[in-house]
Structures are given as C-alpha cells and as structure tokens.
C-alpha cells in the first residue's frame, strides 16, 4: 500500500507541475495581449477564455497532489498530543470523509457537466466547449477521492500493524 501511495504521489506531482506550464503560457499570452493593445487597438483574441482554461487546469489538477502530500490545511494542535493509534484512527475518519465528499461532488458534477455538454454550451469568444473547463474539476475531484482512498488504506494498514505515521508535512496557511 505504501508503494502504491508513493507511486500515486509521484504521478500526481508530475501532473500538477505539468499543469503549471499552462499557467505560464497564459501569462505570456496576457503579456502579449497587453503589449499588442498598447501599440494597436487589437489584442490577442480570447485571452480571457485562455486564462480561465489555464487556471482551471493548473489549479484543479494540483488538488490530488496536495492531498497525497498532506498539504491541505488542517489544524493539528488539539490532536497531536493524543496517542498514536487514536491519531491514526482520526486520520482514517478524516480520509473517509474526504473520499465520500469528493466522490459525491465528482459524481453529481459529472451529471451536470453531461447536461451542459449535450446542451452544446460553449465560451463566448473562442467557442470552446464547456466540457474542457469541466474536465479538470471532475478529474481533480475524482483523482483526489482515489488518492484519499489509497491514503486511507495505508493508514488502516499502519493502524493494524501498530506502525507510526511518517512525519506530517509542515503546516501552511495558503491565505498568508
């Protein structure tokens, strides 16, 4: 199970890094748009559509990696003094909640995405089908749910064998 989690972690991190390339590309397109606008009246068409697309893919495909590296914001000040097994049981509970919540959002999101796809919804400027905006959200939620399930399996195995968890990632505050 630990090997499966390690493999998933490496894959998810590569996926997240690759998705950032889209964000960099969108930055360059935006700079080109501003530069063109400053010398002529015309800019790069569809910059807004492209930026939205890049942000959706870059942000949402990074969510599974953040679960696998334990980076999503959680407060451990009340639990870190508890016995190891109780901490692991609480982690298992948190992961199962995550599996359920993420899977529900992915499932009902997929149904909504399908409705919009069949209605032929598309973006205003470049006419991109809405499906390519929905895809990173659905992938991000579904892959995160799978990642949490794998982590839950790993935690359960450790709990069963009485092994301690590896040191958690340093706490971070994304808003700060």
Terminal C-alpha separation, the chain: 34
CA-CA distance, 44 to 60, in Å (whole number)?
Answer: 25
CB of 4 to other proteins, least distance (A): 21
Distance set, CA 166 to CA 2, 47, 84, 134, 154 (Å): 11, 44, 11, 35, 11
> Pick from 55, 139, 149, 156: which binds other proteins (CB under 8 A)?
55
Q: Where are the beta strands (DSSP E) in 96-156?
A: none
Position among 42, 75, 81, 167 found at the interface with other proteins (CB under 8 A): 75
* Residues in 142-171 that interact with other proteins by CB under 8 A: 144, 170-171
Query: Is residue 45 a contact residue for other proteins (CB under 8 A)?
Result: no
Site string for other proteins, 103-122 (x = CB under 8 A): -xx--xx-xxx---------
Q: Which stretch binds other proteins (CB under 8 A): 1-9, 15-23, 149-157, 158-166?
A: 15-23
Virtual CA dihedral for 13, 103, 110, 11, nearest 10 degrees? Answer: 20
Q: What CA–CA distance (Å, rounded) separates 160 from 1?
A: 13
User: Would you give the distance in Å from CA 140 to the centre of its chain?
Assistant: 5
- Asked if 5 is part of the footprint of other proteins (rule: CB under 8 A), the reply reads no
Q: How far apart are CA 135 and CA 117, in angstroms?
A: 11
Give the binding site for other proteins (CB under 8 A).
13, 16-17, 19-21, 23-24, 26-28, 30-31, 33-34, 38, 48, 51-52, 54-56, 58-60, 62-63, 65-67, 69, 71-79, 87, 90-91, 93-94, 97-98, 100-102, 104-105, 108-109, 111-113, 133-134, 137, 141, 144, 170-176
């Amino acid at each position: 199970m630990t090997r499966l989690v390690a493999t998933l972690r490496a894959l998810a991190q590569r996926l997240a890094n690759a998705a950032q390339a889209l964000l960099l590309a969108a930055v360059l397109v935006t700079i080109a748009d501003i530069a063109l606008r400053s010398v002529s009246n015309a800019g790069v068409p569809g910059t807004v559509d492209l930026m939205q697309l890049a942000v959706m893919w870059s942000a949402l495909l990074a969510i599974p990696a953040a679960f696998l590296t334990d980076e999503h914001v959680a407060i451990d000040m009340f639990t870190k003094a508890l016995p190891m097994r109780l901490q692991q049981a609480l982690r298992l509970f948190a992961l199962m909640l995550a599996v359920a919540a993420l899977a529900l959002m992915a499932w009902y999101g997929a149904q909504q995405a399908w409705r919009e796809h069949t209605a032929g919804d598309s973006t205003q400027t470049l006419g991109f089908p809405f499906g390519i905006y929905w895809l990173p959200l659905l992938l991000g939620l579904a892959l995160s749910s799978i990642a949490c399930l794998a982590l839950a399996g790993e935690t359960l195995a450790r709990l069963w064998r009485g092994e301690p968890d590896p040191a958690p990632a340093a706490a971070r505050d994304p808003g700060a």
